[in-house]
Chains A and B, each alone.
Chain A
Amino acid sequence: MTTGSREEILHRIRKGLGRGEGGGHVDSEAPLPQNTGPSSGTGEKRSDLAGVFAESLTGVNTSVYSASGRDAVLEFIRSFVREKGADSFSIWETEFLKSLGIKESLEVAGLAVKSAENKAGMALSSVGITEADYAIADTGTLVLLSGPERPRGVSLIPPTHLAIVRKENILSDISELFDKLNQLHENQEPIPACTTFVTGPSRTADIELNLTLGVHGPKELYVLIVF
């Protein structure tokens, strides 16, 4: 059924375009225009990407903190979960987060860890902790690549999301990000099943244009920049 449809649709397209069967002439035509997006990376701003990033985050209902060194990071996270009254959490197990020992530290503090394999259970966990692979200073965006140690649900299902961003992973604008992602794909890595851009907490304005946070995803987003 679909094979016939495939041929028929392709035939209709070629007929509409006034070309014969076969196609395949993309390369011989004029090259596609350059696709760089809007840039905001002036030289001055580039020297303080973390500052620009923090300012953009504040504009999208996100609280920003910073810490330097393992002890300071762990101290921040322990007091963060205490303030939230959290009793459970889900976490990404990237090399960097593992090297900090966040999971062990929170377990010692008495919090239960919930696995992404059990979605209903993760829905009950208080905080999801991720490490953003990249961040975009211009828009306050976190970029999360999915993978075995990086389940998508952690930044989505719990009511609070805490994202950890290493300062050196903050990029200026979206074009720089796509350059990086393209490099990754060219080098070796297959493109991940899901790349997610997160800018602020979940929001809607569907009822009389009233801004309401947390309609489906996390109601609160916190970012910790690690220097």
Chain B
Amino acid sequence: MNFERDSARAVEDKNLQRALVNVTDRFRAARKRASDETPGWDGLRNRAREIKKQTIAHLDDYLLQLEENVRKSGGHVHWARDGEEARNIIIDIARRNGVKSVVKSKSMATEEIELNLGLEAAGIRAVETDLGEYIIQLAGEHPSHIIAPAIHKTRHDISELFAEKLGVPYLSEPQELTKVARERLRDEFLGAGMGVSGANFGVAETGTIVIVENEGNARLTTTVPRIHVALMGIEKLLPRFGDLSLFLPLLVRSATGQKTSTYISLITGPRRGADKDGPEEFHLVLLDNGRSGILANPETRESLYCIRCGACLNNCPVYRKVGGHSYGWVYSGPIGAIINPQLMGIDEAPELPFASSLCGACRDVCPVKIDFPKVLLELRSEVVTRKEKTGGASALLESLSFKFWRAVVTHRKIYELALRFSYYAQRPWKTRKARGGGLRSLPYPFSRWTDERDFPAVSETPFRERWKKMKRRDGGAP
């Protein structure tokens, strides 16, 4: 991944910038309205956080309870340590049943394990059926937003894509494009031997998995094919069936600002004896893939409370400029900045904990009140400690600079001298004046700062001198 390069590219992309403003403004306003109109919203968040906290503190027990109840209802449970194992489990189920073609509903976990690539390598066709995901798959790209995966594409892009890949005439209206997708995908549903979904929640008490959506493609995925496989991260557990009455409204209202989504499916095992439809086989694949490692650090453990609503993305000033692809992996925005480094290994994404201004807007909207700034700081300190350990010239330079800085600011005389020195030293650059008297461009290494923004100039009269004068004039302390 290369956050610096990819975010710079994203900022230059005019279509993307327009789309980002559009989608994040819309979702933000809707979430705000929905949460304002919900009585006791803050109390609901507190209770949800407490339930998640206790669930994660007993994750092993609740997983075993879930497993037992899925089995009781006639389903199969599989455990996958990592992405490769999860892929192999799913491919194996398909092979055993002679499945040639799979329909998929939207699932970040399947993106995480790159299931489609795995299935294709095994000679099994995989078709995304959420409209946004379908568009992304035709284009050979990755989702850029948890809730609105194709938001970086204009209708013009999509019209051209459909004309090229599906052999239909150029259609400019979203309604017409949607109709084409509906017809194509109906055939896919009817022809598929297996449906693969994600899960928004898994209920330990009943062995139920829950899928929230608006389109109905997840319902078709879990109803029409003979086999249903659900892939769920091990942290998505809830202890009790009734917990859904708290978590469903929190999820939907935080995500899209709807009061509730169009469809919510509570699935408990395969079809029962005399049922006329529904899958004959149900498989639940529990995915670890780095999650259990997050538990080990109590400071960052709360990263696992996340219910993937996307509200932190929409409210993040950084995400709103750089978009989802800059984060280099499936999860983006503040949640991506904290879980990508923890799931992939911090050496794989050392830039991400720094891709934040620590403004805390994410924490303010999070339905389970994840303390993002705290987790980000913890991860930053991990990155720095590692850098120091592995050495390298830049790590040494950084550590020396901070030691020098400490020496200067903790000794008053040296500090005053340094300021005086800086005032004179800055003169050659002060001629190129920026607004507000700042410095517009400085030589390396300070250019790393001034390439992006102005640097405030050192004033001739230090603040402490002015402060003394003010005190004399006003006759005492203010």
A→B interface (CB under 8 Å): 1-2, 5-6, 8-10, 12-17, 19, 23-26, 29-30, 32-40, 56, 60, 115-117, 119-120, 123, 138-139, 141, 146-148, 151-153, 156-157, 174-175, 177-179, 181-182, 185, 190-210, 212, 214-218
Residue of B182, B208, B265 touching A191 (CB-CB under 8 A) = B208
Within 8 A of A (CB), among B422-455: none
Minimum distance in angstroms from B420 CB to a CB of chain A: 53
Residues of the B chain whose Cβ atoms lie less than 8 Å from the Cβ of A6: 79
Answer whether residue B39 sits at the interface, using C-beta atoms and an 8 A cutoff. yes
**Contact call A199/B61, Cβ cutoff below 8 A:** no
Top 6 A-B pairs ranked by shortest CB distance?
A: A217-B216, A16-B295, A37-B245, A148-B274, A206-B132, A12-B292
Answer whether residue B352 sits at the interface, using C-beta atoms and an 8 A cutoff. no
A13-B59, A115-B276 known; A175-B214 Cβ under 8 A: no
**Contact call A206/B295, Cβ cutoff below 8 A:** no
Residue of B158, B260, B286, B295 touching A17 (CB-CB under 8 A) = B295
The docked-state distance in angstroms from the alpha carbon of A40 to that of B40 is 11
Residue of B63, B155, B185, B286 touching A216 (CB-CB under 8 A) = B185
Residues of the B chain whose Cβ atoms lie less than 8 Å from the Cβ of A190: 73, 272
Residue of B181, B248, B268 touching A192 (CB-CB under 8 A) = B268
Residue of A16, A117, A214 touching B276 (CB-CB under 8 A) = A117
Interface size on B, residues (CB 8 A): 98
Within 8 A of A (CB), among B1-37: 19, 22-23, 26
A35-B47, A207-B155 known; A182-B234 Cβ under 8 A: no
The docked-state distance in angstroms from the alpha carbon of A116 to that of B131 is 25
Interface flags, B272-294, vs A, CB<8A=1, else 0: 11111110000000101000111
**Contact call A215/B268, Cβ cutoff below 8 A:** no
Minimum distance in angstroms from B149 CB to a CB of chain A: 7
**Contact call A207/B174, Cβ cutoff below 8 A:** yes
Answer whether residue B348 sits at the interface, using C-beta atoms and an 8 A cutoff. no
The docked-state distance in angstroms from the alpha carbon of A216 to that of B292 is 37
- Supply 18 A–B pairs (Cβ within 8 Å), ascending by A: A2-B80, A6-B79, A9-B81, A10-B60, A32-B50, A35-B242, A139-B259, A141-B260, A146-B271, A146-B278, A152-B219, A156-B219, A175-B242, A190-B272, A193-B271, A203-B215, A204-B215, A217-B262
Within 8 A of A (CB), among B173-209: 174-175, 177-178, 181-182, 185-186, 190, 206, 208
The docked-state distance in angstroms from the alpha carbon of A147 to that of B208 is 16
Residues of the B chain whose Cβ atoms lie less than 8 Å from the Cβ of A30: 54
B→A interface (CB under 8 Å): 19, 22-23, 26, 38-41, 44, 47, 50-51, 54, 57-64, 73, 78-81, 85, 89, 129-132, 135, 148-151, 154-155, 158, 174-175, 177-178, 181-182, 185-186, 190, 206, 208, 214-217, 219-220, 222-224, 234, 239-246, 248-249, 259-278, 286, 288, 292-296
Minimum distance in angstroms from B225 CB to a CB of chain A: 10
Minimum distance in angstroms from A135 CB to a CB of chain B: 12
**Contact call A191/B293, Cβ cutoff below 8 A:** no
Residue of A37, A148, A204 touching B214 (CB-CB under 8 A) = A204
**Contact call B185/A212, Cβ cutoff below 8 A:** no
The docked-state distance in angstroms from the alpha carbon of A120 to that of B234 is 36
Residues of the B chain whose Cβ atoms lie less than 8 Å from the Cβ of A194: 222-223, 265-268, 278
Minimum distance in angstroms from A150 CB to a CB of chain B: 9
Minimum distance in angstroms from B37 CB to a CB of chain A: 9
Residues of the A chain whose Cβ atoms lie less than 8 Å from the Cβ of B277: 116-117, 119, 151-153
Residue of B78, B208, B263 touching A197 (CB-CB under 8 A) = B263
**Contact call B262/A36, Cβ cutoff below 8 A:** no
**Contact call A207/B178, Cβ cutoff below 8 A:** yes
Minimum distance in angstroms from A219 CB to a CB of chain B: 9
**Contact call A37/B246, Cβ cutoff below 8 A:** yes
**Contact call A206/B44, Cβ cutoff below 8 A:** no
**Contact call A206/B150, Cβ cutoff below 8 A:** yes
Residues of the A chain whose Cβ atoms lie less than 8 Å from the Cβ of B154: 208
Of all chain B residues, which has the CB nearest A177?
Answer: B245
**Contact call B242/A182, Cβ cutoff below 8 A:** yes
Residue of B39, B150, B264 touching A207 (CB-CB under 8 A) = B150
The docked-state distance in angstroms from the alpha carbon of A29 to that of B459 is 59
Beyond A13-B63, A17-B60, A197-B260, 10 additional pairs, beta carbon < 8 A: A146-B275, A151-B275, A175-B242, A191-B206, A194-B265, A206-B131, A206-B151, A212-B178, A215-B178, A216-B219
Minimum distance in angstroms from A137 CB to a CB of chain B: 12
A202-B214, A203-B262, A205-B148 known; A210-B174 Cβ under 8 A: yes
Residues of the A chain whose Cβ atoms lie less than 8 Å from the Cβ of B177: 207
Residue of A2, A56, A216 touching B217 (CB-CB under 8 A) = A216
**Contact call A216/B216, Cβ cutoff below 8 A:** yes
The docked-state distance in angstroms from the alpha carbon of A35 to that of B49 is 11
**Contact call A153/B223, Cβ cutoff below 8 A:** yes
**Contact call A202/B262, Cβ cutoff below 8 A:** yes
Residues of the A chain whose Cβ atoms lie less than 8 Å from the Cβ of B59: 13, 17
Of all chain B residues, which has the CB nearest A39?
Answer: B39
Residues of the B chain whose Cβ atoms lie less than 8 Å from the Cβ of A17: 57, 59-60, 295
**Contact call A206/B130, Cβ cutoff below 8 A:** yes
**Contact call B272/A193, Cβ cutoff below 8 A:** yes
The docked-state distance in angstroms from the alpha carbon of A71 to that of B26 is 47
Residues of the A chain whose Cβ atoms lie less than 8 Å from the Cβ of B265: 194-197
The docked-state distance in angstroms from the alpha carbon of A25 to that of B243 is 20
**Contact call B216/A174, Cβ cutoff below 8 A:** no
Residues of the A chain whose Cβ atoms lie less than 8 Å from the Cβ of B38: 38
**Contact call B60/A23, Cβ cutoff below 8 A:** yes
Residues of the B chain whose Cβ atoms lie less than 8 Å from the Cβ of A153: 223-224, 277
Residues of the B chain whose Cβ atoms lie less than 8 Å from the Cβ of A178: 241-242, 244-245
Minimum distance in angstroms from B422 CB to a CB of chain A: 48
Residue of A24, A123, A199 touching B190 (CB-CB under 8 A) = A123
A32-B239, A198-B263 known; A206-B269 Cβ under 8 A: no
A23-B58, A200-B262, A216-B185 known; A35-B190 Cβ under 8 A: no
